[in-house]
Structure 1
Amino acid sequence: MSTKQFSRITSFLLLLAFFATVTTALYSPINLLSLSRRQQTDGSACDNYSRIANLTVVASNATYRSAYLAASPEGSDPARAPLDAAIPQLAALQFDEALNEQCGNLTTIAYEGAEANFTNGIVLQFSINGASMRIGASAMGMALIVAMVAAMVIEVV
């Protein structure tokens, strides 16, 4: 039985595979839009209005929507359902004078918050920078596997 040392390229590829695995396994904390309340109010009505406003902002903006769907670990179909359900609910909340008096105009706050969060790489609860890293890392992983197989074939030949 003979023992054979790994070639430098094989060692490098194994190290690269290790780093690719570590970078894709990094934890990304959930950052929700933080909205400021203008008054102390009944939390459930204002929370519902805030949630509907945030979902509608993302649903109505093609850039935010596509980034959200790409970052969602559930896939685009299940992630799309709450966005689509929120759009028809917003009009009733947005033009409810008593609710806006109580909570403030949460639609405007949602638009401002979505813009600021998107600039920081966040759409709703997902880090969109992490989604692009996952996509890039999986492509890099496939390239790494092909390179390792090619290196093994070259060593055998």
Structure 2
Amino acid sequence: MPEAKTRGVLFIHSAPSALCPHIEWAVGSVVSQRFELKWTPQSAAPGMSRAEVSWTGQPGTGALLASALRGWAHLRYEVTEEPSPGVDGSRWSHTPDLGIFHATTDAAGNIMVGEDRIRYAYEQGAGEPALVYHELSLALGEAWDEELEPFRHAAAGAPVRWLHQVV
């Protein structure tokens, strides 16, 4: 039986130039191959660079990529992983100020908020609509989207490379 494969995209929204080779090394260690990203200036953050690469690999590769980059100062990135047989899709977003956010996604890329998380929002809200709204905002990762949106728009029309995981 063939091994399950999935695909996704790694978006490095902004990184200091000195960090770029380290990012390439970290990503290369996850996909078991050496490669160089095509870095371009990030117009939303002068002095920073951006890159993006599409990837294919085993389910869970997105989590490995997100973990390999997690916690680096001044780095903004997102990793997506499409659903595959028996595995939900995912999105990881990272900003220096907020840290990392993970969400399960459907086939269209929409964030799926589970029943337990919705119940938690109701409980924390204790009848106070503003508190319920706040908890649901956290569950949807709205703060990460707000911080990353200018960087996403600055990447419109950027070239994309495909990266295939060596197994």
Q: TM-score band (shorter)?
A: under 0.3
Larger % of helix: which?
1
TM-score, with length taken from structure 1:
0.27
Higher share in strand: 2
Give the structure, 1 or 2, with the largest relative contact order (CA under 8 Å, sep 6 or more).
1
Question: TM-score normalized by structure 2?
Answer: 0.26
